[in-house]
Amino acid sequence: MNPIPLSDRQKKIAEIVRRSGPITGTEIAGELGLTRAALRSDLAILTMGGILDARPRVGYFYTGKSTLGMLVEELSSITIEDIMSVPIVVSASKSAYDAVVTMFLEDVGTLFVVDGKGCLFGVISRKDLLKASLSQGADLHNLPLAMVMTGLSKIVLSKPHEPAAAAARRLIEREVDCLPVVLPFDEKKGKWKLVGRVSKTNMTRLLAELAEGKGGTYHS
Amino acid sequence: MNPIPLSDRQKKIAEIVRRSGPITGTEIAGELGLTRAALRSDLAILTMGGILDARPRVGYFYTGKSTLGMLVEELSSITIEDIMSVPIVVSASKSAYDAVVTMFLEDVGTLFVVDGKGCLFGVISRKDLLKASLSQGADLHNLPLAMVMTGLSKIVLSKPHEPAAAAARRLIEREVDCLPVVLPFDEKKGKWKLVGRVSKTNMTRLLAELAEGKGGTYHS
């Protein structure tokens, strides 16, 4: 895949305006040794793309966005559902030891604790289990999951149709590796059906794929 | 921050071409109930932006890139150095127990093991320590770090000036949470100075900030 970025001349113009703006079209043409007319289409592209802005009798100025307007647009159309993974779950009746085994078998850093109907009950991380296993005399076989997990009331939930970037922000702010993706199950009882997980791994993969020009696969 | 995306008409045109391309300008105008002349500047923008391509006697076709060309361009200019964090290190002479304590104190998931000169010697993760702490009879106080860490020969290194997206791809492919960022120290002896760490957390933060239009802060 061969991306077609701004032309070299368009980049030069953006750079001149960033450095010297506000600047008139004639002045830009002067710096480049070209006529004003020769720049007309480049300036139109840069302006309509939101990279430059123009004001009458002032000239062109740099919006500070570079190609970011489009990037923001592109990113905001990718939802959590587009990138989420299948959640790995353990039943609330299991022990901390069972959780460790599941975590190694599935090679994930976060498990979701669910009730019999697949509703979210808690979250348990590698860090929780490492802490538990180090507590003096802790026998993980006899340690109920509920004693080490983070309970539902302290968990930030995400919904499938929210932007992926909102989940990225939440992962950073809450300092967790993974968020549960849920849909309402019984709103009166505050029960949520677990439908996915969205993690820093999903975000890292998304970034790698966008950089490789594969973002289009997220919009079918 | 208020991104300026493609206009609605430009999006409509791109969508028509994606669905029905190759298609002539006149046919596109027909679908939109407009004249060919009215579309001239929109088609120029979409073509020069790399979203559409045109071939004589064939018409317009969709490149499949949407605004991705520009996104790829934007991302490729962000380097590992722009987003990396300070590495948290432990000395090679410490025990696994010391590593756990450092990990909890610093609240990181990966520690780097270094020699007296700050050169990289190994990497140790929460997963390594959880495994060690569960091994029957393991006494973490008397377990040397070298017994649980991943040694230098098996670690993927990253350099500060590589694109951030290359590190994202490596994190995914090697299934690790964090990579050491190094500079050559003594190439003959295969020694590398540890200068940073780049993790899935850095990638998640970068994605969140790009989506919020803060990418410009990465290019000063």
Cis peptide upstream of residue B180 (ω within 30 degrees of 0): no
> Mutate which of A207, A214, A218 to test chain B, going by most B C-beta atoms within 10 A?
A207
Q: Is the pLDDT of residue A204 over 90?
A: yes
If pLDDT is split at 50, 70 and 90, which confidence band does B210 have?
A: confident
For residue A69, pLDDT over 60 is answered with no
**What are the sequence ranges of the domains in chain B?**
6-73, 87-208
Span B125-178, pLDDT tens digits = 999 999 888 875 568 888 999 999 999 999 999 999 999 999 999 999 999 999
Residue B67: name the closest of A82, A49, A209 by CA.
Answer: A49
Average pLDDT, chain B: 86
Mean pLDDT, chain A, whole residue set: 86
Higher pLDDT, B4 or A128: A128
Using alpha carbons, select from A35, A32, A36 the residue that is nearest to residue A9: A32
- Among B168, B90, B169, which residue's Cα sits nearest to residue B122? B90
Correct CATH for A87-208 of 1.10.3470.10, 1.10.3190.10, 3.10.580.10, 3.40.440.10 = 3.10.580.10
Q: What confidence score (pLDDT) does residue B200 get?
A: 97
Q: Which fold has domain B6-73?
A: Arc Repressor Mutant, subunit A (1.10.10)
Q: What is the pLDDT of residues A150-196, one digit of tens each?
A: 999 999 999 999 999 999 999 999 999 999 999 999 989 889 999 99
Nearest CA-CA partner of A32 in A7, A50, A57: A7
Cα angle B112-A171-B98, degrees, rounded to a multiple of 5: 25
A107 touches chain B (CB under 8 A): yes
Q: Which residue type does A123 have? A: V
pLDDT score of B166: 95
* Farthest-apart Cα atoms in chain A, separation: 81
Model pTM?
A: 0.72
Contact across the interface for A49 and B49, Cβ inside 8 Å: yes
Q: What is the pLDDT of residue B61?
A: 79
Q: Indicate the DSSP class of residue B3.
A: -
Q: Do A213 and B69 touch (CB under 8 A)?
A: yes
- Looking at CA atoms only, how far is residue B130 from chain A in angstroms? 5
pLDDT digits 0-9 by tens, A13-60? 888 887 787 889 999 999 999 998 889 888 888 887 777 888 887 788
Distance CA A100, CA A115 (A): 19
Please determine whether the domains at A6-73 and A87-208 fall in the same fold group of CATH.
Answer: no
DSSP annotation of A79 reads: B
Q: Could you tell me if A109 lies within 8 Å of chain B, comparing CB atoms?
A: yes
Task: Classify each residue of B168-177 as buried b or exposed e, where b means 16 or more C-beta atoms within 10 Å of its C-beta.
Answer: bbbbbeeebb
ipTM of the complex: 0.71
Candidate from A44, A207, A216 with C-beta closest to B41: A44
Is some CB atom of chain A closer than 8 A to the CB atom of B102?
Answer: no
pLDDT of residue B137: 59
What confidence score (pLDDT) does residue A4 get? 37
pLDDT > 70? residue A201: yes
Compute CA distances A72 → A47, A145, B38, B51, whole Å.
Answer: 17, 41, 28, 16
- Asked whether B182 and B194 are in contact (CB, 8 A), the reply is yes
